[in-house]
Amino acid sequence: MIGKAYRSSGFGIDAQKEIGMRNAIWLMLAMLGLFLVGCATTPAAPPPPVAPVPTAPAAPPPPEPTPPDGATGGDVVLPAPLYLLADQQLIRIVAATAITPVPLLDAGFIIEFDVSPATNRLAYTLGQNQYTADTLIIADGDGSQPRQIAANPFGISQPRWSPDGTQLAFAEGVSADLSDTGGVYLLDATDSAAAPTRLLANPPLDSSNPSGAEDQPVAPLAWSPRGDALLVQQGFGLAVLWLATGELVSLRHATQEQLPCCDAVWTSDGQQVLVASVGNMQLGTVLPGLWQADARTGASTPLVRSDATGEYRLAQAPYPLASGAVRMLGNTTAVPPMAGGMHLPQLRMQQYNPDGSVATVREELYPVRDVRWATDGRGAAVLTWTHEQGAPFASYTLIWLDAGGMPPVPLHRYTGDPFNVSLQGAKPLLRWGQ
């Protein structure tokens, strides 16, 4: 896995001279801050309404405001320690008054990270610029005992710990001589001598098509709750990889077009995937909405979608509740969504109910960069983002939003790269730890 050419962003290559062109194209997209590019053949006009399929009794209304556990005045004790990648510094947050830095290897830009929910071990990638990682490291939760897992000067991305913390999935790109297409790799983290093995290969390169636009490289996004499947990025769409059989199931609309990458979460039974989109009518024709997809068949049902009135219904960061309801950040707007670059849509906390209704949980609107829900859905850590035109830095504010109605609690503020955006859900800045 040494000496590979970059392929993790979705463009193929067939010669070394094309590497620069591919990276230049994708650097431009990164600078534009594209969240969702999706399938270009999705209808640009809002489709007619489709009735949602109820799967459980309607959820009760949001509870009366109650203080979160440990809340005292303007402070709140979080459900678990929260890790935040804040302008090249990983920090651990227990409360607004309990924030500690996590020392990592000083060997380049920190691109991505993940925290094991079971062992609190870290996985992070480093690169020589802010957009392409070349090294994968695992370490203890306090940053100690770092160990290099893989090196690839043209692309390592999306490390994801298994639910039990024994395995780490990640993506690598195509080799420089095109002999290895790269793909999704798996590391046995219990064996210090183990080398990563490939789970799923990228599609073969087509040297007759130097644009590589038809390629659908794969990268891990989320493990199923039981650890028997991986939700993966498949080009600009989504698929489920079943580990026992190697079957790859694409998640699709009824029209057979792929659901948009990459804002998706498993349901607790590991049989369904919720997919959200804030849409993008600027560089693509991806409509916003919320879908529920069958992880075995790939068939999906629209839950929240734009309707014939011309209004666009945005959804981000879905979280399933035991009642069958889904908490999320969302909004309804008559203006076509233009996600990406200096455009982050204004969203509020909402709840989709199995009867098809969408209720407002909180009225405040925020431009949202990342979200982590409490495991019981009682609130969420929300990273907001603002940028004044021409300013060299963006302002980030991490807040705790209680679903019961308590006032927002600011946790941390910092300034950072205004272009620190990616395919929605593919590059998280927040992770729960221990």
Most confident of 175-179, 305-309, 352-356, 383-387: 352-356
Q: Helix (H, G, I), strand (E, B), or coil: what is residue 400?
A: strand
Is a pLDDT exceeding 50 seen at residue 91?
yes
Q: Between 208 and 193, where is the model more confident? A: 193
Which of 87-101, 153-167, 330-344, 378-392 comes out lowest in average pLDDT?
A: 330-344
pTM of the predicted structure, to 2 decimals: 0.81
Cα torsion angle, 76, 81, 83, 89, sign = positive
323 C-beta neighbours (distance < 10 Å), count = 15
pLDDT grade, residue 285 (50/70/90)? low
Question: Tell me, what's the pLDDT at 387?
Answer: 81
pLDDT grade, residue 115 (50/70/90)? very high
- Longest Cα–Cα distance in the chain: 64
Q: What is the pLDDT of residues 228-278, one digit of tens each?
A: 999 999 988 999 999 999 999 999 999 999 999 999 999 999 999 999 999
Is a pLDDT exceeding 50 seen at residue 176?
yes
Q: Which residues have CB under 8 Å from 302's CB, separation 6+?
A: 50, 52, 289, 290, 291
All domains of the chain, ordered by start, with CATH?
Answer: 16-432 (2.130.10.10)
What is the rounded distance in angstroms from the CA atom of residue 136 to the CA atom of residue 430? 18
| Mean model confidence pLDDT for the chain | 81
Q: Helix (H, G, I), strand (E, B), or coil: what is residue 308?
A: coil
Is a pLDDT exceeding 70 seen at residue 320?
yes
Q: What is the DSSP letter of 22?
A: H
